[in-house]
Structure 1
Amino acid sequence: MRLAGPLRVVVVVFLVGITWLLTSSVLGRDGGSILRHFFSGGGEEPTPEPKPRKYKCGLSAPCPEKHMAFRVVSGAANVIGPKICLEDKILMSSVRNNVGRGLNIALVNGVTGELLEVKSFDMWAGDVSELLKFLRPLHEGTLVFVASFDDPSTKLNDEARHLFEELGSVAAKELAFRDSWVFVGAKGIENKSPFEQRMKNSKSSNKYEGWPESLEMDGCIPVRAPLEN
């Protein structure tokens, strides 16, 4: 049976339209979008959400002028080492092969942001006198970044804890076996540091068997004014 005249015209128009859409797609025009629009009933595709922008050391927002961005991460159990980042530069990490069990400390010039020295101190089997020699002669305005790994406290004595208190620490006084600890202090600070976290080693709440979870702390440190002569 032959198609009636009007119906034949509709079929021909439909075929011509499909052919045009396919040709447009092959020739590089936005035929694909037109086809999707045609067959989806005209609905618009959802626009993907933009990825959040990351700033220095992975911060979610930039630091104000005359501030330095930092991030300090303690070690995870005795497996994953700690990391200290300042102004997008990794000062200490397992990748840099300059971290170890105990306390990992980076000294930074608080005026210029220059890295002065990094060193790790074994607080399980090491000698606390090495830590004391490191902390006693600090100059006014020196920033002190600390990240624990495994055990930060077994060898700590009263003098070592007091030296950290003078840098602005509150947790150093009670820091215990296998606690997680991150801290940023400064020589000559008048009050307690706003940059400190401690996670107690507790069988009832430990994330890892025998160790609490790793701590991660970031923020913006104000640049210190140069000391007057």
Structure 2
Amino acid sequence: MRIPGPFRVLVVLLLVVLSWLVGSALFGGESGSPLINFFTGKRGASVEPTSAETRPRKYKCGLSAPCPPKHLAFRLVSGAANVIGPKICLEDKILVSSVMNNVGRGLNIALVNGVTGELMESKSFDMWAGDITVLLKFLRVLHEGTLVLVASWDDAATKMDDEARRLFEELGSSVAKKLAFRDTWVFVGAKGIENKTPFEQLMKNNKNTNKYEGWPESLEMDGCIPLRPPGARPLEQEGV
């Protein structure tokens, strides 16, 4: 039986369209084509933002917003239990970390020039079995305006005496008197600060609330530290 002419034309057209659709699917034709969408039931394709567009932008030391001019971006991370060491970042430079192999049990301290923002010295002090006089000598000779960044690890207070607590209070600490065995502490102070620092966090060691067995959770703190006025003389450290 012969197929009527008009019907043959319709069959040919359908074969052409189907061949084109198959070819587009196999060879990467545009999925957003109106014709394909018509046959597949899809609506017009929307342009999805790339991962770079959706990912929040990070600034120095991972801050979510940039610091104002003449301010230093910082991030402090205390150690976790006695396993993961602390980290101190300033202006996108890692001053203290396990990777740099310059951390230790107790108090990890970085001294920074309050005028230039340059690292002066970093050191760790064992507050479980160390000699407290080493820490006292370190703190007694600080010059006016020196920034002091502290991140604890494991135990920050067993060897702490009244003088050490007083010296940290003079640097702006509000919690130095309360610091106890295995408390977690992060702190940014300065020699000669007039008021208590806004950059300090303390997590008490409490067996009922500890995240780790025998230790509270790690603390993380970031922010922007104002530099000293331009006319202030550069700082130096002596006798450490």
Q: Same fold (TM over 0.5)?
A: yes
Residue pairs, 1:67-82, within 5 angstroms:
67-82=71-86
Specify the alignment match of 1:141 in structure 2.
Answer: 145
Are residues 1:11 and 2:16 paired? no
Q: Using the alignment, how far apart are the partners of 1:196 and 1:109 within structure 2?
A: 19
Q: Structure 1 216/3 Cα, relative in aligned 2: closer, same or farther at 3 Å?
A: farther
**1:194 equivalent among 198, 203, 206:** 198
The aligned amino acid for 2:232 is L
Q: Structure 1 13/76 Cα, relative in aligned 2: closer, same or farther at 3 Å?
A: same
Q: Using the alignment, how far apart are the partners of 2:88 and 2:22 within structure 1?
A: 56
CA drift at 1:47: 1.7
SS at match of 1:227: coil
SS at match of 2:19: helix
**1:170 equivalent among 174, 177, 181:** 174
Q: Deviations over 1:107-145 (max 9, x none)?
A: 000110100000000000000000001000001111000
Specify the alignment match of 2:42 in structure 1.
Answer: 41
Conservation of the 8 A alpha-carbon contact between 1:101 and 1:122 = yes
Residue pairs, 1:50-89, within 5 angstroms:
50-89=54-93
CA drift at 1:33: 3.7
Conservation of the 8 A alpha-carbon contact between 2:88 and 2:95 = yes
Specify the alignment match of 2:219 in structure 1.
Answer: 215
CA drift at 1:46: 6.2
SS at match of 2:54: coil
TM-score by length of 1: 0.91
Specify the alignment match of 1:132 in structure 2.
Answer: 136
Unaligned runs of 5+ in 2: 235-240
CA RMSD across the alignment: 2.2
Q: Structure 1 154/16 Cα, relative in aligned 2: closer, same or farther at 3 Å?
A: same
The aligned amino acid for 2:96 is M
Conservation of the 8 A alpha-carbon contact between 1:81 and 1:94 = yes
The aligned amino acid for 1:146 is V
**Identity level (%):** 72
Conservation of the 8 A alpha-carbon contact between 2:115 and 2:233 = no
Unaligned runs of 5+ in 1: none
Conservation of the 8 A alpha-carbon contact between 1:111 and 1:224 = yes
Q: Structure 1 112/210 Cα, relative in aligned 2: closer, same or farther at 3 Å?
A: same
Specify the alignment match of 2:95 in structure 1.
Answer: 91
Q: Using the alignment, how far apart are the partners of 1:11 and 1:121 within structure 2?
A: 86
CA drift at 1:16: 1.8
Q: Using the alignment, how far apart are the partners of 2:36 and 2:190 within structure 1?
A: 61
Conservation of the 8 A alpha-carbon contact between 1:103 and 1:147 = yes
The aligned amino acid for 2:168 is F
Q: Using the alignment, how far apart are the partners of 1:220 and 1:2 within structure 2?
A: 86
Q: Structure 1 228/7 Cα, relative in aligned 2: closer, same or farther at 3 Å?
A: same
The aligned amino acid for 1:11 is V
SS at match of 2:152: strand
The aligned amino acid for 2:124 is S
The aligned amino acid for 1:136 is R
Q: Structure 1 41/77 Cα, relative in aligned 2: closer, same or farther at 3 Å?
A: same
TM-score by length of 2: 0.87
Q: Using the alignment, how far apart are the partners of 2:191 and 2:98 within structure 1?
A: 27
Q: Using the alignment, how far apart are the partners of 1:179 and 1:46 within structure 2?
A: 50
